[in-house]
Chains A and B, each alone.
Chain A
Amino acid sequence: AQKVTQAQTEISVVEKEDVTLDCVYETRDTTYYLFWYKQPPSGELVFLIRRNSFDEQNEISGRYSWNFQKSTSSFNFTITASQVVDSAVYFCALSEAGNQGGKLIFGQGTELSVKP
């Protein structure tokens, strides 16, 4: 069975601190996709990144970076120099290859609070 675990329910940091959100997944598929979504207070889920299981290169986009490690089934997300606008709930998600990212298994989410 597929499963995504985000062990950190809530994280609180002060602005400009770096913060890492953990994500551990379980799947029997050899081909799969991993995602991160952001859900601000407005409620709309915003796509941040998609990774396929064959691509273990880390990715950096501005202040965001992602560390995919197949050996530990983890796909962690780091925000560098956090800002108040980063406050939101962040979800990690998993999809089988056949779904190509439509049917997602989400983790429970990590609520990030960035204080000024």
Chain B
Amino acid sequence: DTGVSQNPRHKITKRGQNVTFRCDPISEHNRLYWYRQTLGQGPEFLTYFQNEAQLEKSRLLSDRFSAERPKGSFSTLEIQRTEQGDSAMYLCASRDGGRNSPLHFGNGTRLTVT
């Protein structure tokens, strides 16, 4: 169990640029989640995959955001035309299908939009 891995750890970009983050879940976990955390707040749910199917998207996920999990393993989160308000920590988490299994989080990708 190598844990949930996220890349990059930090990303600084200029307003208007596109960015893409990657998440590698724990290998046997079929459920993958993206959360966003701003300074001083708790994480907020963005979207959820079961295998390759995106089953739920939060209203927080505007049209500029898109997430994929093409082969049911790793996932990418892309933000197009970034805005300063997108600056946050983007957290990925995974869990297996067991009823009592908790979420395992990665270290996150910290995005700064200048």
Contacts and interface: CB of A to CB of B under 8 A. Distances in A.
Interface stretch (A13-21, A44-52, A60-68): A44-52
B103 A101 contact: yes
Interface stretch (B19-27, B39-47, B60-68, B71-79): B39-47
Given A45-B105, A47-B104, A50-B100, A102 B43 contact: no
B56 A103 contact: yes
B31 interface: yes
A26 B68 CA distance: 32
A75 interface: no
A116 interface: no
B102 A43 contact: no
Contact of A101 (B40, B44, B89, B102): B102
Given A100-B99, A101-B95, A106 B42 contact: yes
A44 B45 contact: no
A106 B43 contact: yes
Contacts of B31: 102
Interface string A35-76: 101000011111100100000000000000000000000000
Contacts of A102: 31, 33, 48, 95, 103
Interface of B: 31, 33, 40-45, 48, 56, 89, 91, 93, 95, 99-108, 110
Given A93-B42, A107-B42, 13 more contacts: A4-B42, A35-B102, A45-B43, A45-B91, A45-B103, A45-B105, A47-B103, A100-B99, A101-B95, A102-B31, A102-B95, A105-B45, A108-B42
